[in-house]
Amino acid sequence: MSKFLMAPAALVVMLTLAACGDAPAETPPPPPAAEAPAAVPPAATPPPAEAPAATPPASN
C-alpha cells in the first residue's frame, strides 16, 4: 500500500517543483520553446512581404 501512496506523492512533488521551476523536467521545455519562436518569425515574414508587393498592382 505504501508504494501506491508513494507514487502519487512523488508525482505531486515533481509537479510542485516543476511549477516552481526548480525541477529538471522544466529544463527540456525551454530549448523547444526557443526553437518555436525562431520558426514563427520566418514563416510570418514571407506573407507580409507578398502582401505589399501584390497591393501596388491591384491599385493600378
Please tell me the pTM assigned to this model: 0.25
Three-state helix/strand/coil letters over 30-49: HHHHHHHHHHHHHHHCHHHH
pLDDT digits (tens, 9 = 90+) for 32-43: 544 545 555 554
**Which three cell numbers mark 39?**
520558426
Treating both helix axes as pointing N-terminal to C-terminal, what angle do 46-59 and 30-44 enclose, rounded to 10 degrees?
A: 10
Q: Could you tell me which residue, 59 or 42, shows the higher pLDDT?
A: 59
pLDDT given at position 23: 45
pLDDT per position as a tens digit, 4-56: 556 666 677 666 766 655 545 444 555 554 454 555 555 445 555 555 555 55
Nearest to 18 by CA among 26, 29, 27, 10: 26
Report how far residue 3's alpha carbon sits from residue 10's, in angstroms, rounded to the nearest whole number: 10
